[in-house]
Structure 1
Amino acid sequence: MAELNKILKPKLENLLEENKDFKDELINERYISNSLIQNISLDYINEEKIEINGCHFVNVTFNECSFRNIDLLDVVFENCDLSNIDFSDSSIHRVEFKGCKLIGTNFTEGNLQNVLFEEVLGRYSNFGYCKMKNINFKECNMKGTIFLECKFNKVAFRECDISSSEFTNTPLKQIDFTDSDISEIALTGSELKDAIVSQLQAVELARLLGVIIK
């Protein structure tokens, strides 16, 4: 089983007060902290350069939202739907996505540190050109995800479906893929130097790279 990284957890207050005016405060104040946001749908929010600090989102659905250049610090998203959100050019630090939908979510050119993705449905999400340090993907469906030209530093995948994903120009040194599905991933071949794969995966990768095995 692939070993996960030791990452810093979000720092949340023990008793967070429920914030029922989250949308208005976010738009007007552009900063939300130490709040519980739960069981609501947030629709058509398009804001840039906002800050969310020390918040817990539970059963929240985001519809047609964009948060470019957002600063997320010490945040937990639990059973939330963040599909197709634009998180590009953002700073995401000490954040957990647990049991969330992230289908088609855009993280391009973001800076992610100490982030957990656990039991996430994240097909076709986009992490292109991201800097990613101390990141765990645990039991996630990330099929068709783009990891184009990322800078990985201690990124781990455990029991994930990352088939048909793109890793072109993303060095995969010391990343253990042995218990994940990496069938039909896209790369040039050089990215695999010092990656850890099973024998069956090695045969599949050789086939993808045009190697003939006798």
Structure 2
Amino acid sequence: MNDLSRKQKILQPIIPNELMPMNFEDRDDTYVSMALISDCSIIGEEIERLKFEQVVFQNVTFIDVSFRYVELIDVIFERCDLSNSNFGDASIHRVEFKESKLVGLNLSDATLRNVSFSHCNANLCSFGYGDLKQVKFDTCSLRHADFYEAKFHLVDFKESDLYEVNFTGAALKGIDFSSCTLNQLILSPESLDGCIVTSEQAIGFAKLLLGLIIKE
């Protein structure tokens, strides 16, 4: 294992062995902790500055939900549907998104630290102007996702579909795309400085950025 791989180890959420089952509607205030929220829908909620700490969401569907400035600490989303939810300006620390549908989820201007996305459908997800450090996308679909002007530090993309992802203004130095499917990325030439790709992917970038016609 090289030094970069060691540094990219994601800290997992710290979750107690026993959590109290609860309904979201029964919360006392804007702070929810040590709770299991499962097999339900959260509908039409628009709340700013919610805080979830040591919370597990299982099989939860979020419908017409806006949680701007939400703070997530030691949280797991498992088999959830957060499509088109608004988590703009969120602060997200030690959080896992597992086998979840995140289509159109707004995470613009969010701060992500030690966050993993595993086997998720994150098509059209927005990370614009986000600050991502120690973040991993493992076997995810990120088609048409937006990372405009995002900051990356130790971000790992593994075996993910990056069709028409927007990386404009994002510095990709040290990002390893070699296991991913890349097609028609939206970016500027300087964004590619120092990123890691296969020889086949490099040919694709040459066609995209230089307008070359490569005879194969």
Show structure 2 runs of 5+ residues with no match. Answer: none
Instruction: Say whether residues 1:147 and 2:158 are aligned partners.
Output: no
Instruction: Say whether residues 1:9 and 2:12 are aligned partners.
Output: yes
- Secondary structure of the residue aligned to 2:162 is coil
Per the TM alignment, residue 210 of structure 1 is displaced from its structure 2 partner at its CA by 2.6
Q: Structure 1, residues 124-170: CA drift from partner, whole Å, max 9, x if none?
A: 00000000000000000011100000110000000000110000110
Output the TM-score relative to the length of structure 1.
0.95
Question: Which residue identity lines up with residue 153 of structure 1 in the other structure?
Answer: H
Q: Which runs of 4+ in 1 moved over 4 A?
A: none
Residue in structure 1 matched with residue 170 of structure 2 by the alignment: 170
Question: Which residue identity lines up with residue 197 of structure 2 in the other structure?
Answer: V
Hey, what's the Cα distance between the residues in 2 that align with 1:80 and 1:193? 36
Q: Structure 1, residues 91-118: CA drift from partner, whole Å, max 9, x if none?
A: 0000000000000000000100000000
Question: Which residue identity lines up with residue 167 of structure 1 in the other structure?
Answer: F
Hey, what's the Cα distance between the residues in 1 that align with 2:14 and 2:158? 24
Per the TM alignment, residue 182 of structure 1 is displaced from its structure 2 partner at its CA by 1.5
Residue in structure 2 matched with residue 206 of structure 1 by the alignment: 206
Residue in structure 2 matched with residue 98 of structure 1 by the alignment: 98
Question: Which residue identity lines up with residue 199 of structure 1 in the other structure?
Answer: S
Per the TM alignment, residue 174 of structure 1 is displaced from its structure 2 partner at its CA by 1.1
Hey, what's the Cα distance between the residues in 2 that align with 1:10 and 1:179? 26
Instruction: Say whether residues 1:122 and 2:122 are aligned partners.
Output: yes
Q: Which has the higher contact order (CA 8 A, sep 6+)?
A: 1
Hey, what's the Cα distance between the residues in 2 that align with 1:126 and 1:105? 6
- Secondary structure of the residue aligned to 2:129 is coil
Instruction: Say whether residues 1:161 and 2:161 are aligned partners.
Output: yes
Question: Which residue identity lines up with residue 188 of structure 2 in the other structure?
Answer: T
Instruction: Say whether residues 1:18 and 2:21 are aligned partners.
Output: yes
Instruction: Say whether residues 1:107 and 2:81 are aligned partners.
Output: no
Hey, what's the Cα distance between the residues in 1 that align with 2:63 and 2:25? 13
Q: Structure 1, residues 157-188: CA drift from partner, whole Å, max 9, x if none?
A: 00000110000110111111011011100011
Residue in structure 2 matched with residue 62 of structure 1 by the alignment: 62
Hey, what's the Cα distance between the residues in 1 that align with 2:45 and 2:70? 13
The number of residues matched between the two structures is 210
- Secondary structure of the residue aligned to 2:86 is coil
- How many percent identity over aligned positions? 39
Hey, what's the Cα distance between the residues in 2 that align with 1:118 and 1:91? 19
Question: Which residue identity lines up with residue 109 of structure 1 in the other structure?
Answer: D
Instruction: Say whether residues 1:42 and 2:45 are aligned partners.
Output: no
- Secondary structure of the residue aligned to 2:191 is helix
Hey, what's the Cα distance between the residues in 1 that align with 2:162 and 2:33? 34
Show structure 1 runs of 5+ residues with no match. Answer: none
Output the TM-score relative to the length of structure 2.
0.94
Per the TM alignment, residue 78 of structure 1 is displaced from its structure 2 partner at its CA by 0.1
